[in-house]
Every structure is written in C-alpha cells, then in structure tokens.
Structure 1
Amino acid sequence: MNFRLSSPLPGWEAQRRMSPVQTEAYREPKANAKEAGVLALLHPNGKDLKLTYIKRPQRNTLDKHSGQVSFPGGKKEKVDKNIIDTAVRETYEEIGINPKDIRILGQLTPLYVYVSNFLVYPSVGVIDYEPDYILQSSEVDYTITADLNELTNPGTVQKRDLKIRGFTMRDVPYFALGEETLWGATAMITSEFVEIIREL
C-alpha cells in the first residue's frame, strides 16, 4: 500500500463521485484558506482492516461540521512540523491514539472545503492493534469503525436528500454505515481511498 499511495492518485475524479454539489466552482482554495490535516486510521479486525471515523458533537454550534461523521484531525498549529504531524497530533488529542503507534502509509489528494475555508490534507496511517479509544468529549461524541469490505461494497453508496442548516440538498451521495450517514468532504476523501483499495 505504501507504493500505491506514492504513485499518481485517483484525485478529483474519485472525489467528485461523492461530492454533494455537481459543480467545480468551489474547488479552488481562497488565498486565505486555512490548512488542516486529517488521518484515515486503519487497524486490524480479523482478516480485514477497519477504518476509524468520529462523530462530531451536534451541540458545538461554532463548528460548521457539527454532528457530521469525519476523520480525526484539525487545523495546523505552529507546533506542527508538517501537515502529517497535524493529523497525528489531532488524532491523539481527539481519540487517544499514541503517535508512536501510528505508521504513516502515505497521503491522499488534498481537498478544499468551501463552507469552512479549509484546505484539507488527508494522510493514511495504520496501527497494529484494535484500539481502546480515549475520546475528547468536546470534539468527539463517539467513534465509528467501518470494514474495508463494507466501504468497497457498491451497495454502501446511496443517495438521499439532506437538510443542512435549514437548507435541503437533493440527491446527496453518501456511504451508509449502519445508522450513520457519511457524506461531504469526508465521503469524498473516502471515495479516493476506496478506489485505491479496489486496485490493490
């Protein structure tokens, strides 16, 4: 997997399949866009691997992504040497995974999130054990794990209308993870990752 992640990536063509808006008008980052790092964290589950997501608290009204399913991660800070450090640090702060346990496999294609003005840099990492998460309650309600077999199953991708901040978005593509709806930027990042997994 290390080799594939360092090769040319599927990029926008894979991301756009899960885009909630069918336009490229919001792809280009603004000059004042903030940088963020997120981590697609894998861990073993029998013969399969699981990918970790977090559920953002609905009560955090300052977070434009409140109540959504996302990867652990956040804004790049001065203490971070690079954007991978950001993702690893935030993962430790939000779900308690020791940075020393994480082996970075590579990075996915950056994605600009217009609604929050963040340019998101996704990294992929793996730990060699099933984790006991320690949650930062102000940032995380709970964790969600998804088998790679589940994510690569075409039936997991569905469409429905979503009501977001009083506005209804029609026919939004999403990954149906049990009772959870994975949509938006995290679904777009996941879409690229899934395409890579299918090619292995």
Structure 2
Amino acid sequence: MASWKLILKEALRPPLPGPAAHAKMLPDNAPEFSWNHDKSKGIQSSVLILLYPYEDRILIPFIQRPVYPGYHSGQISLPGGKCEDVDSSYWETALRETREELGIDTDEVEYLGQLSRIYIDRSNFFVNPQVGFLKYTPQFNPDPKEVAEVLKADITELATQPRVTDTMLHPTGIPVEMPYFNAGGKHIWGATAMIICELIQTLNTKYPAWINALHSCSGHTSPESL
C-alpha cells in the first residue's frame, strides 16, 4: 500500500475544490457586506498545515492568538503571516512564520502541496495555504507575544465531525450561524475553517478511503515509511 504521505501528495495535485469547499464553512444567513478594499493592494500571506504523527494519530497544530487591538484578536488560526522580502516563496513564508510562532525547527518539514488561495476581505489579505509533513512529534516553544496557546487537533476527528454552528455577530451587527470545527472545545471558524474544509474535501473526493489508509499505515512507529 502507498504511504499516507504519498496519498496526500497525489490528492493535493490540481484541480482542487476551492470556493466550493470554502463555502461550506460560511454562514447560511450572512448579509451581503464588503469592506471595499482595493484588492490590487491586497497583502500576500501564507499559513502552514503541519501534519505530524503522535501515537497512532496524525495531528495538526493550531495557534490561539493573544487578545490585542486588531482583526484577529483571540482567534484560532494556523501558524503563518505576511510574506516578507526575505521569503523566496509562499512555502518559505509558511516555514519562517511557523519557526517564529511555534518555536520549532522546520528544516525537516517536507512540502506536500498547497491549497487554494483565500481572500480575507476584512483585512485585505490573500492567504496561500501550504501543507507540510514532519515525521516526528515536534516540541513546541511558542512565542508568547504571538501565541497564547497551541492546540493540537487530530485530522481524522476534524474530518468526521458533523457540521455545527454557533451564533456570532456579523460586522453589520446581525447575528449569524457560523459553522466551525471543534478542537478540544475551541471553535475553529472563518478562513482557517475554510482551509481545513478544503483539505478534507480534497481527500474525501480524490481518495475516499484515506482515513482507513492512514490507520493502516505503519508509519506511526516507523516514520520512514510515511
């Protein structure tokens, strides 16, 4: 059997579901609203879905932002941030930001592919999601200025959750039912939920038996086989 890592690499080849997957994590009753930004001046950024083994599972680390005056105060997100001149690619941005925020060595993170770009109207950011794999469980040493807490979520648990919503206030002040993923009692919503939803839908569509394949792999005890 092909390793789960190779299955994921193949699944991430275009075409990808993109907006169709993202739409599943949008509220059904949200009013039309725009921040009227000039998209030609949008800021390019990148985030990393870092997959790594832990016991008999594959986990993804998320970060909870500290509370601060800003758009993403207290939110749960993937490690990542704005592209800088020192970065040669979106992949390099994702690795640099992950090193800075999670305090881990990214030299052995293997590139698996990327997902569809997402535009965040509120902050005028373009997010370019990258997917990587680390064959061992990292020891996180998060930067307290950027990370209040590191959350670790099992990818199969995220993938098998029913669609649930919680009431949140839209920027217009109207309550909306926002879909979210549950990660240890914390809500993953918004652009981060859209990114995870696309990863899951991509795997479900291109390799429906991926969860069984993951559990069948021996890579959790022999990382080289992943």
Specify if TM > 0.5.
yes
Q: How far apart are the structure 2 equivalents of 1:123 and 1:23?
A: 30
- The structure richer in strand per residue is 1
Gaps of at least 5 residues in structure 1 are none
Q: How does 1:1-200 map to 2 (within 5 A)?
A: 1-20=8-27, 22=30, 30-58=39-67, 60-61=68-69, 63-155=70-162, 157-163=163-169, 167=173, 169-199=175-205, 200=207
What amino acid is the match of 2:140? Y
Q: How far apart are residue 25 of structure 1 and its match?
A: 6.9
Gaps of at least 5 residues in structure 2 are 1-7, 208-226
What amino acid is the match of 1:48? R
Q: TM-score, normalised by structure 2?
A: 0.80
Identity of aligned residues (%): 36
What amino acid is the match of 2:156? N
Classify the secondary structure of the residue corresponding to 2:72.
Answer: coil
Conservation of the 8 A alpha-carbon contact between 2:11 and 2:203: no
> Structure 1 residue runs of 4+, over 3 Å off?
20-26, 163-169
Q: Deviations over 1:51-92 (max 9, x none)?
A: 11100001x21x311101100000000000011100110000
Map of 2:212 onto structure 1: none
Q: CA RMSD in A?
A: 2.1
What amino acid is the match of 2:192? T
Q: How far apart are the structure 1 equivalents of 2:107 and 2:23?
A: 34
Q: TM-score, normalised by structure 1?
A: 0.90
Q: How far apart are residue 165 of structure 1 and its match?
A: 7.5
Q: How far apart are residue 136 of structure 1 and its match?
A: 0.8
Number of residues of Structure 1 aligned to a counterpart in Structure 2:
196
